Structure 1
Amino acid sequence: MDDLEDAPGPNPEEVNKREQEEKERKAKEDAEQAQLPYKWTQTIADADVTITVPATIKGRDLDVVLTKTKIKVALKGQPAIIEGEFPHPVRIDDSTWTLETTRTGKEIAVHLDKVNKMEWWPHIVTSAPKIDVTKITPENSSLSDLDGSTRAMVEKMMFDQRQKEIGKPTSDEQRKMDMLKKFQDEHPEMDFSNAQIG
Structure 2
Amino acid sequence: MAESSTTRDKSPTPSERERNDKQAKAREEEEQAKLPYKWKQTLDEAEITISIPGNLKSKDLLIDLKKTHIKVAIKDGDTPFPLQTDESTWTLNTKSDGGKEINITVAKARGTNWWPHITTDAPKIDVTKIVPENSKLNDLDGETRGMVEKMMYDQEMKRQGKPTSDEQQKQDLLKKFMKEHPEMDFSQAKIG
Which of the five TM-score ranges fits, normalised by the shorter chain? 0.7 to 0.9
Look up the equivalent residue of 1:30 and give its one-letter code. E
What is the CA–CA distance in structure 2 between the aligned matches of 1:51 and 1:36, rounded to whole Å? 10
Any idea what SS the aligned residue of 2:113 has? Answer: coil
Deviation of 1:183 after TM superposition, in Å, equals 8.5
Structure 1 gaps, min length 5? 1-12, 75-80
Any idea what SS the aligned residue of 2:62 has? Answer: strand
Q: Does 1:156 align with 2:150?
A: yes
Q: For 1:49-88, list aligned pairs within 5 A.
A: 49-74=48-73, 81-88=74-81
Conserved? CA contact 2:81–2:112, under 8 Å: no
What is the CA–CA distance in structure 1 between the aligned matches of 2:166 and 2:16, rounded to whole Å? 30
- State the match for 2:186 in structure 1: 194
Conserved? CA contact 1:46–1:117, under 8 Å: no
What's the CA shift string for 1:142-197, capped at 9, x where partnerless? 22211111101111122123223433222244345556767889x7x956873978
- State the match for 2:120 in structure 1: 126
- State the match for 1:47 in structure 2: 46
Q: Please, which of 133, 137, 141 is the counterpart of residue 143 of structure 1? A: 137
Pair 20,71 (structure 1): closer, same or farther in 2 beyond 3 Å = same
Q: For 1:102-121, list aligned pairs within 5 A.
A: 102-104=95-97, 105-121=99-115
TM-score, with structure 1 as normaliser: 0.77
TM-score, with structure 2 as normaliser: 0.79
Conserved? CA contact 2:84–2:109, under 8 Å: yes
What is the CA–CA distance in structure 2 between the aligned matches of 1:15 and 1:174, rounded to whole Å? 20
- State the match for 1:92 in structure 2: 85
More helix by share: 1
What RMSD over aligned residues (CA atoms) do the two structures have, in Å? Answer: 2.7
- State the match for 2:5 in structure 1: none
Any idea what SS the aligned residue of 2:186 has? Answer: coil
What is the CA–CA distance in structure 2 between the aligned matches of 1:22 and 1:182, rounded to whole Å? 35
Deviation of 1:91 after TM superposition, in Å, equals 0.5
Look up the equivalent residue of 1:44 and give its one-letter code. L
What is the CA–CA distance in structure 2 between the aligned matches of 1:183 and 1:59, rounded to whole Å? 65
What is the CA–CA distance in structure 1 between the aligned matches of 2:68 and 2:174, rounded to whole Å? 46
Deviation of 1:139 after TM superposition, in Å, equals 1.1
Q: How many matched pairs?
A: 178
- State the match for 1:26 in structure 2: 25
Conserved? CA contact 2:17–2:159, under 8 Å: no
Pair 142,193 (structure 1): closer, same or farther in 2 beyond 3 Å = farther
What is the CA–CA distance in structure 2 between the aligned matches of 1:117 and 1:102, rounded to whole Å? 35
Any idea what SS the aligned residue of 1:92 has? Answer: strand
Deviation of 1:60 after TM superposition, in Å, equals 0.7
What's the CA shift string for 1:28-69, capped at 9, x where partnerless? 111111111110001111100001122222111111111111
Q: Which one has the largest radius of gyration?
A: 1
What is the CA–CA distance in structure 1 between the aligned matches of 2:177 and 2:55, rounded to whole Å? 73
Q: Which moved more, 1:145-154 or 1:115-124?
A: 115-124
What is the CA–CA distance in structure 2 between the aligned matches of 1:194 and 1:184, rounded to whole Å? 8
